[in-house]
Chain A
Amino acid sequence: MAEIELKTAPADFRFPTTNQTRHCFTRYIEFHRCTAAKGEGSSDCDKFARYYRSLCPGEWIEKWNEQRENGTFPGPL
């Protein structure tokens, strides 16, 4: 069997608490800011994508994506 590498987003000193909501939200925003700055599909943004997909519940990501499409996303993109 091949070794499967399992890892998640690294511990971020900006978010030392057990509740990592803000960490997830910040990574989501960072990914979208990176994409806005460097263009869609840029590989620099991949690591942010992996971070937020690990940290954030699927329902939140879907909700935020929908809000972004409607123009009602409240965060500072």
Chain B
Amino acid sequence: MIESQRHSYHLVDPSPWPISGSLGALATTVGGVMYMHSFQGGATLLSLGLIFILYTMFVWWRDVLRESTLEGHHTKVVQLGPRYGFILFIVSEVMFFFAFFRASSHSSLAPTVEIGGIWPPKGIGVLDPWEIPFLNTLIPPSSGAAVTWAHHAILAGKEKRAVYALVATVLLALVFTGFQGMEYYQAPSTISDSIYGSTFFLATGFHGFHVIIGTLFLIICGIRQYLGHLTKEHHVGFEAAAWYWHFVDVVRLFPFVSIYWWGGI
């Protein structure tokens, strides 16, 4: 038990989740390739792999919560691991988005003669940036403010208020996702409409995917807060969710300026 170890680190018990995650990843990648080349069974293997990965995430992180909140293994120094690790993960995500925005700039700043040397290409229906895109650029920062409110409530020990603030954060996030879905449904161009469609939908699509993941993370934090898992000194999971959320809302500014506004002129 933790009282008998003479160090403040966490030596984890053996766990099947790393191998199960790896098997899930193998199934996903092989299934993905099979699906894309129209091999029989590809779609099934891909879906099985994805479900397996999601299951592994659920049980692995449930174990982390059990070890930390319930068993008390996460001392201050152990907490540094997840903190730095999550920050580095966010940095890797920044690089990921950088690639898509660079792709967009590469195609739009010096459009090739094959698309007529103009941007947006001829015939592409462009959305008015000052309608839904603008609204959807104001909502993420408001949601970010709400998550900061929640953080301050947690630090002040105001537990119920923190739950309300997280509910507000998640509601704003869901409204954003709803509007974005509606916009996609009504959009005049599709992902296969020239390089414009490809860059537009990949950049905004991945952003939307990250919003959904962040929303899920925040919902889980809301549930944990409600159940009393988070204390004013120790809430690394919440901080990670809040950092991720701020990253997602800052990222939203870039496509608004470069793709929706500049790219549509």
Contact = CB atoms under 8 A, between A and B. Distances in A.
Interface of A: 21-22, 25-26, 29, 73-76
A22 B117 contact: yes
B214 interface: no
A75 B113 CA distance: 8
A59 B116 CA distance: 16
Contacts of B118: 74-76
Interface residues of B, number: 8
Interface of B: 113-118, 121-122
Given A74-B121, A74-B122, A76-B122, A22 B113 contact: yes
Nearest to A74: B116
Given A75-B113, A75-B117, 15 more contacts: A21-B113, A22-B117, A25-B113, A29-B117, A74-B114, A74-B115, A74-B116, A74-B118, A74-B122, A75-B116, A75-B118, A75-B122, A76-B116, A76-B118, A76-B122
Contacts of A29: 117
- Residues of A contacting B: mostly: helix
15 contacts: A21-B113, A22-B117, A25-B117, A26-B117, A73-B116, A74-B114, A74-B115, A74-B118, A74-B121, A74-B122, A75-B113, A75-B116, A75-B117, A75-B118, A76-B116
Tell me which of A26, A29, A74 has the highest count of chain B C-beta atoms within 10 A of its own C-beta: A74
Contacts of A22: 113, 117
Nearest to A64: B113
Tell me which of A21, A22, A26, A75 has the highest count of chain B C-beta atoms within 10 A of its own C-beta: A75
Contacts of A73: 116
A55 B116 CA distance: 17
A10 B118 CA distance: 24
Contacts of B115: 74
Nearest to A21: B113
A57 B121 CA distance: 23
A11 B122 CA distance: 29
